[in-house]
Amino acid sequence: MSDPLPMSRPAPRLTGRIKTEPEDFIVEELPAYLPSGEGEHLFLWIEKRDVPAEQLLRHVARSLEVDQRDIGAAGMKDRRGVTRQWMSVPARAHERVAGIDTDRIRVLSQSRHGNKLRTGHLTGNRFSILVRDVASSEGPMDAAEAVVQLTPLVDEIRQFGFANFFGDQRFGREGETLQLGLDLLAGRKTPRDIPYSRRRFLLKLSLSAVQSDLFNQALKRRIVDGLLHTVLPGDVMEVVASGGKFTAEDATVEQPRRDAGETAITGPLFGPKMRLPTGAVAEREGRLLEQSGLTMESFRTFPDLLSGTRRPYAIRPGELLLTADPDGVRLDFTLPPGVYATTLLGALIILEGERGASAPCDAAE
């Protein structure tokens, strides 16, 4: 069965640059809930400019004189950009909050809440991204002409979605984060081989990089086989509105629901709690694991960090707008947690330059 939807188009012809300036890449977290105003935790609405996520965490802990483990965040945010997000800290540190502010970090507001903020406690992220130096194979192009060229691709993504790859930045420079995760799962390294000051952060990041790489491989195989948008019997489906999962038994029944945007086909983020597909889909994922040199047992080594879940293969962005800007082309859109903005941009424009193609992008989980 081949994919009936027109996503096998040629690679985009236009090129452009992002993150030339931090203000070219604006990300704002969409929280799952707002603080209640009462409780033992203090929620801080923080804006940072050109600051890595790990550095922000260390700075907040140091400024408030609290342990990093007592700080909650819904997800990591980009270094190169202007980003706004909630973080929770122990309310006892409220008198030292003013000490967080620097020329690149600001606390915009604060309020108490009863629970610590946990990873994934957000509904998504809102992006406003400026693409500069847009050009075609024939040379530079003005913004209005670029909008005309890109509009059909934008319309296609609105209708069908785009392939939900993890960005290359997930895997570290030259794949070093991914390699660390593979070494940990294979027993070639232990957490003690990671410097203590970065152990908690890098342990989680490197292990999730292995899950992410395997998902990307599974997604590539669906695309190569023409099955990105085709429901197979045994696929684990996700209800878009609720996130609930179920197994597709009759593909002819489930395909129209997928095409209407009610459901999404999911791929594996391997772990002991991941819902398993059945039939031919289970065989596909089993072959992937076997060829990677891993087994399901490999992921039981770190059960708290590798519980496992499913991730949609394709994503329809929310509120996707394309407009001409005096300095280039601007895209405004929202994405669910953990979806990479650069993956969406790459479906439209070939991103050139170090700060465009390899700079970290949103990786909220």
Q: Kindly report, residue by residue over 163-199, the tens digit of the pLDDT.
A: 999 988 889 889 999 999 999 999 999 999 999 888 9
Whether residues 50 and 74 share a domain: the answer is yes
- Concerning whether 78 is annotated as a catalytic residue, the answer is yes
Mean pLDDT of 79-101: 95
Same domain, 84 and 141: no
What distances in angstroms separate CA 52 from CA 59, 288, 328, 359, 360, one per listed residue? 11, 33, 26, 11, 9
Q: What span, in angstroms and rounded, lies between the C-alpha atoms of 229 and 205? A: 29
pLDDT at 303: 87
Q: Residue 362: is its pLDDT beyond 60? A: no
Q: CB 125: neighbour CB atoms within 10 A?
A: 26
pLDDT of 3 over the 70 cut? no
- What pLDDT sits at residue 12? 54
Domain membership flag for residue 13: no
Please say if the pLDDT value at position 119 is more than 50: yes
Question: 222 near 228, Cβ under 8 Å?
Answer: yes
Last residue within a domain, chosen from 100, 119, 138: 119
Residue indicated by tokens 């406690």 = 121
Q: How many CB atoms lie within 10 A of CB 139?
A: 6
Q: What is the CATH number of the domain that holds 323?
A: 3.30.70
308 plus 167 within the same structural domain: yes
Which comes out higher in pLDDT, residue 77 or 215?
A: 215
- Residue 201 in this model has a pLDDT that exceeds 90: no
| Residue 258 token pair | 């997928």
Question: Is residue 109, in this structure, part of any structural domain at all?
Answer: yes
Region at 174 (left for phi over 0; alpha for psi -120 to 50; beta for the rest): left
Contacts of 207 (CB under 8 A, 6+ apart): 181, 184, 185, 302, 305, 306
Separation between Cα atoms, residue 307 and residue 231, nearest integer Å: 25
Which residues have C-beta within 8 Å of that of residue 139, sequence separation ≥ 6? Answer: none
What are the backbone angles phi and psi of residue 173, rounded to the nearest 5°? -60, 125
* Boundary (domain end) residue, out of 95, 119, 143: 119
Q: Is residue 14 part of a domain?
A: no
Whether residues 147 and 176 share a domain: the answer is no
Same domain, 351 and 289: no
Residue 8: per-residue pLDDT: 41
- Quick one: 303 and 324 in the same domain? no
d(CA 15, CA 328): 11
Query: Of 199, 192, 215, 167, which Cα lies nearest the Cα of 305?
Result: 199
* pLDDT at 33 > cutoff 50: yes
One domain, residues 167 and 285: yes
The number of domains in the chain is 3
Candidates 244, 230, 245, 320; CA nearest to 280 is 230
Q: Are 256 and 171 members of one domain?
A: yes
Provide the token pair at 30.
Answer: 């969409």
Catalytic residue of the set 3, 24, 78, 193: 78
In a domain, 173, yes or no: yes
Residues 284 and 269 in one domain: yes
Residues 310 and 327 in one domain: no
Tokens of 349: 């424009």
Please, where are the H alpha helices in the chain?
A: 53-64, 143-160, 176-186, 196-224, 251-259, 279-292, 341-346, 354-357
Residue 354 pLDDT greater than 50, yes or no: no
Q: Do residues 278 and 308 touch, judged by C-beta distance below 8 A?
A: no
* pLDDT score recorded for residue 363: 38
CATH of the domain at 237: 3.30.2350.20
Give the residue numbers spanning the domain of 82: 33-119
Residue 327 maps to a domain: yes
209 and 270 both lie in a single domain: yes
* Residue 58, domain member (yes or no): yes
Average pLDDT (80-106) is: 96
Which of the 8 DSSP states describes residue 320? E
Tell me, yes or no, whether 239 and 329 share the same domain.
no
365 in a domain, yes or no? no
Predicted confidence at residue 137, as pLDDT, reads: 87
What's residue 197's pLDDT? 85
Do residues 22 and 357 touch, judged by C-beta distance below 8 A? Answer: no
User: Is there a domain that residue 102 lies in?
Assistant: yes
- The model's pTM is 0.84
